[in-house]
Amino acid sequence: LADIDEFSKMNTVYERMMDGHKPARTTVQAGALPMKGLRVEIDAIAYKK
């Protein structure tokens, strides 16, 4: 997150979008994101059996 004070808002969306068992995650405040105006950067790793 560009601003850790927005964690609660981000978490509300996360809870709404992820039903049931939720994947592990890490949230940190970033000093700068790669593009001007970004507020969130998401990195994901997926595994399919």
Predicted local distance difference test score (pLDDT) of residue 28: 86
Name residue 2's amino acid: A
The domain in which residue 31 lies consists of 1-49
Q: d(Cα 48, Cα 46) in Å, to the nearest integer?
A: 7
Domain count, the chain: 1
Mean pLDDT, the chain, rounded, equals 85
- For the cut 80, the answer to whether the pLDDT of residue 37 exceeds it is yes
- Stated pTM of the model: 0.64
SS3 6: helix
Q: Residue holding tokens 């059996």?
A: 49
Mean pLDDT of 16-36: 84
Helices (H) and strands (E) in the chain, counts: 1, 0
Predicted local distance difference test score (pLDDT) of residue 12: 93
- For the cut 80, the answer to whether the pLDDT of residue 46 exceeds it is no
Q: Which helix (H) or strand (E) holds 7?
A: helix 7-17
SS3 45: coil
Q: How many residues does the chain have?
A: 49
User: What is the percent of the chain with per-residue pLDDT over 90, rounded to a whole number?
Assistant: 16
